Amino acid sequence: MVLKFIDLFAWIWGFHIAFSNLWCKCVFASEWDKYARETYETNFKKTDPELFESWNFAWDITKINPNTIPDFDILCAWFPCQPFSQAWYKKWFEDKTRWTLFFNILEILKSKQPKAFFLENVRHLLNHDWWKTFEVIKWTLEELWYSFYYKIIKASDFWLPQHRPRLYMVWFKDKTIDFKFPEPQNLRLTMSDIRWWKCDKDIWFTLRVWWRWSTINDRRNRDAYLVDWQVKQLWVKEAKKMQGFPEDFEFPVSNTQAMKQLWNSVAIPAIQAVWKEMIYSLNKK
């Protein structure tokens, strides 16, 4: 049986690639950023034309009636992380607009009652305000009678040469399901593989391009690297590899927009490894 999923706050989006690689079908997606929408449609209209022809690629999820969304088995979402991220100076609940998007997810879950859902966010969500924020999210979603599993997973646990720790959260409607997160795998790529020359580290911090003016010695440096003892910066081709995107993934936008989109996406091999375990758990029942 082909599992159907919806892709919320889709960005460009790694969830879609990871799920499609395991023979699942996207029946609805949402994204408001016009440049991300352009990249998303360019890459997925070839494989999922009906998603766009049936007007199921929504612009503003807050304007969508949950009852009009096609039936699906799995909800996947990266709800905007800026309220929780160190990179945005920890404004947390002050960022009301982005935070309230979490409740749009909640309304869809209440209406559609899928078999499972899978959320990804920055790791700082876990311990914000002495765990209180995380406990509110956990308790709110458990009120819908879903079992809950979570773990901080690094991209380097699943083959990619960047740490990029993220909080992975998984819920199942069937509370008898016994789910286990996948075990870390050996590194398959190093930074030297990414650049094709000798890099000073096998694994770097995390793909980030927001501070492109940072120097090699800056403590906030994220995009400058020593390659054969020369300072180099990552660009689109290398950044795609660091996130696990396929080589033929296209960016019909400027290089600056492409780097912003890659910086803000997910590590595809890590998403796919967790999703594979979710499918295994669902099929056991």
Give one DSSP letter per residue of 153-170, joined into a string. Answer: E-GGGGT-SB---EEEEE
Percent helix, strand, coil in the chain, to 5, is 40, 15, 45
Active site residue 76: no
Contacts of 250 (CB under 8 A, 6+ apart): 39, 42, 43
Side chain identity at residue 272, one-letter code: Q
The answer to whether 81 and 122 are in contact (CB under 8 A) is yes
Task: Name the active-site residue from 24, 26, 76, 81.
Answer: 81
Active site members: 81
